[in-house]
Amino acid sequence: MREKIEQIDRLMSPVLSDAQAVELHAVLVACLTSEGKGVGLQRSTTEYIELFLSAKKLEGCSERSLRYYRSTLARFAEGVTKAAHEMTTEDIRDYLAGYSRDGRAGKATVDNVRRVISSFFSWLEEEDYIYKSPVRRIKKIRTSRVLKSVYSDESLEALRDCCTELRDLAMVDLLTSTGIRVGELVQLNRRDIDFEARECVVHGKGDKERRVYFDARAKTHLLAYLNSRCDDVPALLVSLHRPFRRLQISGVEARLRKLGEDAGVKNVHPHKFRRTLATKAIDKGMPIEQVQVLLGHSKIDTTLCYAMVDQDNVKRSHRKFIS
């Protein structure tokens, strides 16, 4: 029956407006199938959002991502008063344009909002709550690519020199040699570390497991830190004073900021270690597919965004191959 409905939709689409096509599809589903979601169950946008978030949670979406989806879609539901199944492409374009007009966000942020809304409507379409996603015709918002800086070897040494605690030195070396996310770092337990093989298992986005590798210096400083501890907390990194608790993301960020201030290194952030690793790996000839696996990216485009090719290497290559 579903194939029949799709065939009727295709045959009638040239002579119907978008609104008429949506209405026809909803009537066909309601009359010819047992689902009848389109007309029979016209939920509010808030109800659709809750269903969408439940589906995302079942797919293994992280709590952080779910919170972002919820807040973004809640603002969207407030900004566009129509029910989701009544919204048009123009309604969504006007909503996104409002961000730019009000100066509330840059192009990158607006495109992130567009992607969340697009994901929401694509799910509604897949579940037959709507006939066709109104976001289909809204293209990706072009943003100017900003070349973000990476740590130089001198900056990394300066950070190490300012580490007065074994924990901080181990933390800097682990971030430098593995390129793991800060969220992955704070989730690590002692048992996750294989010192013999110099590797550890991390749980990335979507709770995906992967192996990452660290160098001899990180191994030395990690062992020294763990041997100095007098607690039995399973977490790899803990607070410096009693009661010893697992270090949180905010704690890592604050500590690195302080190290940066002491070392005279600007904009020290855990994510910058990740970008530095990707850039150095690609500059030294590591295949991009292997860098993708190392960083735990599901799409290679994400890896390419992280990697900033060193301009000096470009200059040397130009002289070698072209000049």
User: Under a CB-based contact definition with an 8 Å cutoff, are residues 137 and 96 in contact?
Assistant: no
User: Under a CB-based contact definition with an 8 Å cutoff, are residues 217 and 209 in contact?
Assistant: no
* Residue that has been written with the tokens 């607006």 in this structure: 110
Whole-angstrom CA distances from 187 to 21, 90, 225, 234 are 49, 43, 17, 10
User: Under a CB-based contact definition with an 8 Å cutoff, are residues 159 and 172 in contact?
Assistant: yes
For residue 265, the one-letter residue type is V
List CB contacts of 193: < 8 A, sequence separation 6 or more: 200, 222, 236
Q: Check 70, 115, 217, 271 and give the catalytic one.
A: 271
Tell me whether residue 221 is one of the annotated catalytic residues. no
User: Under a CB-based contact definition with an 8 Å cutoff, are residues 129 and 48 in contact?
Assistant: yes
N- to C-terminal Cα separation, the chain: 66
User: Under a CB-based contact definition with an 8 Å cutoff, are residues 43 and 30 in contact?
Assistant: no
Q: Check 25, 255, 274, 275 and give the catalytic one.
A: 274
Tell me whether residue 274 is one of the annotated catalytic residues. yes
Q: For residue 202, how many C-alpha atoms fall within 13 Å in the half-sphere facing its CB?
A: 24
Q: Check 160, 198, 205, 269 and give the catalytic one.
A: 205
Q: At what angle do helices 63-79 and 89-102 cross, to 10 degrees?
A: 100
Whole-angstrom CA distances from 265 to 19, 204, 268 are 57, 28, 7
Q: Containing H/E element for 79?
A: helix 63-79
* CA-wise closest residue to 116 among 71, 176, 171, 54: 71
**What is the set of active-site residues?**
181, 205, 271, 274, 297, 306
